[in-house]
Structure 1
Amino acid sequence: MHKQQRILFLSLYTFGLTGGIEKVCRSLTSALHELKNMDAVSQYHCLSMYDENPDPRYIDAGHFTGFNGNRIAFGQKTIREGLKSDIILLSHINLLVFGWLIKKLKPKARIILLAHGIEIWEPLKNWKKRFLQQKTEIWAVSKYTANRVQQQHSIAPHQINILNNCLDPFFDVPQNFEKPTELLERYGLNADQKILYTLTRLSSREQYKGYDQVLAVLKHLPEEIHYVLGGKADALEQKRIQQLINQYGLQHRVTLTGFIADSEITPHFLLADIFVMPSKAEGFGISFIEAAACGCKVIAGNGDGSKDALLNGELGFLIDPTNQKELLKAILEALALPIVRDLQQQKTLNHFAFSNYLHKTQQLLSIS
Structure 2
Amino acid sequence: MNSSPRVLLLATEAYGCRGGIATFNRNLCQALTAAPVAARVTVVPRRLDEALAEGALPPAVTQMTAATGGGLRFWVEAIRAARRGGPVDLILCGHLYLLPTAVLLRALTRAPMAVVLYGIEAWQPPRRRLLRGCARRLDHAIAISTLTLERFAAWSGHPSSRSTVLPCAVDLSRFTPGPRPAERVAALGLQGRRVLLTLARLDASERYKGIDEVLDALVALRAGSPDLVYLVAGDGSDRPRLEDRARQLGLQDAVRFLGYVPEADKVDLYRLADAFVMPGRGEGFGIVYLEAMACGIPVVASRADASQEAVRGGLLGELADPADTASVREAIRRALARPRGVRPDGLEVFTLSAFTERVQALLAALLKGAGQD
Q: What TM-score do you get using the length of structure 2 for normalisation? A: 0.88
Partner of 1:356: 354
2-structure distance, mates of 1:106, 1:233: 39
Question: 1:100-139 counterparts in 2 under 5 A?
Answer: 100-107=103-110, 109-124=111-126, 125-139=128-142
Output the amino acid matched with 1:117: G
Output the amino acid matched with 1:256: F
CA deviations 1:230-279 (Å, max 9, x no partner) are: 11132xx2221122111111111111101111111111111101000011
2-structure distance, mates of 1:62, 1:308: 30
1-structure distance, mates of 2:337, 2:299: 13
Is the Cα–Cα contact under 8 Å of residues 6 and 41 in structure 1 kept in the other structure?
no
Cα 1:178–1:27 change in 2 (3 A) is same
1-structure distance, mates of 2:259, 2:80: 42
Is the Cα–Cα contact under 8 Å of residues 300 and 321 in structure 1 kept in the other structure?
no
Output the amino acid matched with 2:290: I
Is the Cα–Cα contact under 8 Å of residues 40 and 60 in structure 2 kept in the other structure?
no
Cα 1:294–1:88 change in 2 (3 A) is same
Partner of 2:261: 260
Cα 1:80–1:205 change in 2 (3 A) is closer
Say which SS state the counterpart of residue 335 (structure 1) adopts.
Answer: helix
Partner of 1:41: 38
Deviates more, 1:71-80 or 1:292-301: 71-80
1-structure distance, mates of 2:9, 2:267: 29
Is the Cα–Cα contact under 8 Å of residues 41 and 61 in structure 2 kept in the other structure?
no
Alpha-carbon offset, residue 153 of structure 1: 1.8
2-structure distance, mates of 1:122, 1:245: 32
Partner of 2:371: none
Q: Percent identity?
A: 29
Partner of 1:232: 235
1-structure distance, mates of 2:30, 2:349: 18
2-structure distance, mates of 1:226, 1:308: 27
Say which SS state the counterpart of residue 305 (structure 2) adopts.
Answer: coil
Partner of 2:219: 219
Say which SS state the counterpart of residue 134 (structure 1) adopts.
Answer: coil
Partner of 1:273: 274
Unmatched runs of 5 consecutive residues or more in structure 1: none
Alpha-carbon offset, residue 12 of structure 1: 2.3
1:63 paired to 2:62? yes
Is the Cα–Cα contact under 8 Å of residues 210 and 321 in structure 1 kept in the other structure?
yes
Q: What TM-score do you get using the length of structure 1 for normalisation? A: 0.90
**For the aligned residues, what is the CA RMSD?**
2.2
Number of equivalent positions? 356
CA deviations 1:55-87 (Å, max 9, x no partner) are: 534423872221142754542342244352010
1-structure distance, mates of 2:89, 2:61: 19
